[in-house]
Homo-oligomer: A and B are copies of this chain.
Amino acid sequence: MDWSIQDIARLAGTTSRTLRHYGDVGLLPASRVGDNGYRYYDELALVRLQRILMLRDLGLGIPAIADVLAGQTDGAEALAVHLRWLHQEKDRLDRQIASVEMTMLTLEGGEQLMAENMFDGFDHTAYREEVEERWGAAAYADGDRWWRSKSAAEKAEWQQRQKQLAADWSAAAAAGLAPDGAEAQALATRHADWLAGIPGTPQVNGRPAKQYLVGLGEMYVADYRFGANYGGAEGASFVRDALAVYAERNL
């Protein structure tokens, strides 16, 4: 007993186009092809088709389905792999949803989309022009998008980390430590690590690019807004010098 393409399509709850597609890609060839070119399918084909459609409904792609039906892949294993895929996708969606919601809240607050206060209290974006000029606005734009994707708690934690770092720098500068001393270099290391955690920061195998770090130090000194957070121009100079030494030694 065999059916025409329309018959089997209705039997399985799909369309003839889908069947022809499966025939084209070799997933489900017709059981028989008449002299007129018509496709005919038998019970085995129907069973196979039903299995195909079930796996498809679970979200598996055609190659994966083919592997399972060919016995090359264990069904349970294929599903396990697919399940990880699904969870990744879900995580991605969750992050995007959070990001969109954050942005909507920001818009309600009347703020600009491109937040100028992205790193409150440790404002790199104030140096936007310089940064963009030398390292590309990617350092700014990527950072902005990344920042927006974080939750309030994460933001608070980040800002806390920044403030602590700034305070430690300030204290070290006030104590008159040497920029090339162990303590100052430890701070420079923390600073570099912190920067490396910001997407968009020019990096070389996990660490900030040397010239970027040095240039950043120069900007800290050149701009009074930095000094305000570190006890004045001396603090900025201290940071610049320490970073320069760090960069020379480690990058």
Q: Mark A residues whose CB is within 8 Å of B.
A: 10-13, 46, 50-51, 53-54, 57-59, 75-76, 79-80, 82-83, 86-87, 89-90, 93-94, 96-97, 99-101, 103-104, 107-108, 113-114, 132, 136-138, 141-142, 144-145, 200
- Whether the pair A103, B58 counts as a contact (CB closer than 8 A) is yes
Please give 14 more A-B residue pairs, beta carbons under 8 A apart, in addition to A58-B96, A80-B104. Answer: A10-B138, A11-B132, A13-B136, A13-B141, A13-B200, A46-B137, A51-B113, A54-B141, A58-B99, A75-B107, A83-B101, A86-B97, A90-B93, A90-B94
- Whether the pair B59, A12 counts as a contact (CB closer than 8 A) is no
CA distance A80 to B105 in the complex (A): 11
Residues in B with CB closer than 8 Å to A82 are 100
- Whether the pair A114, B50 counts as a contact (CB closer than 8 A) is yes
- Whether the pair A83, B104 counts as a contact (CB closer than 8 A) is yes
- Whether the pair B50, A11 counts as a contact (CB closer than 8 A) is no
Q: Which of B75, B87, B99, B137 contacts A57 (CB 8 A)?
A: B99
Complex A-B: 30 CB contacts under 8 Å: A10-B138, A11-B132, A11-B137, A12-B138, A12-B141, A13-B136, A13-B137, A13-B138, A13-B142, A13-B200, A46-B137, A50-B137, A50-B141, A51-B113, A51-B114, A53-B141, A54-B141, A54-B145, A57-B99, A57-B145, A58-B99, A58-B100, A59-B96, A75-B113, A76-B104, A76-B107, A79-B107, A86-B96, A90-B93, A90-B94
Once A13-B200, A104-B79, A137-B11 are accepted as A-B contacts, the answer to whether A144 and B54 lie under 8 Å apart by CB is yes
Residues in B with CB closer than 8 Å to A145 are 53-54, 57
CA distance A138 to B6 in the complex (A): 13
* Chain B residue at minimal CB-CB distance from A13: B138
CB A94 to nearest CB in B, in angstroms, measures: 7
CB A199 to nearest CB in B, in angstroms, measures: 9
Once A11-B136, A86-B93 are accepted as A-B contacts, the answer to whether A79 and B57 lie under 8 Å apart by CB is no
* Chain B residue at minimal CB-CB distance from A46: B137
Residues in B with CB closer than 8 Å to A57 are 99, 145
CB A147 to nearest CB in B, in angstroms, measures: 11
- Whether the pair A10, B136 counts as a contact (CB closer than 8 A) is yes
CB A109 to nearest CB in B, in angstroms, measures: 11
Residues in B with CB closer than 8 Å to A132 are 11
Most chain B CB inside 10 Å of its own CB: which residue of A57, A132, A136: A57
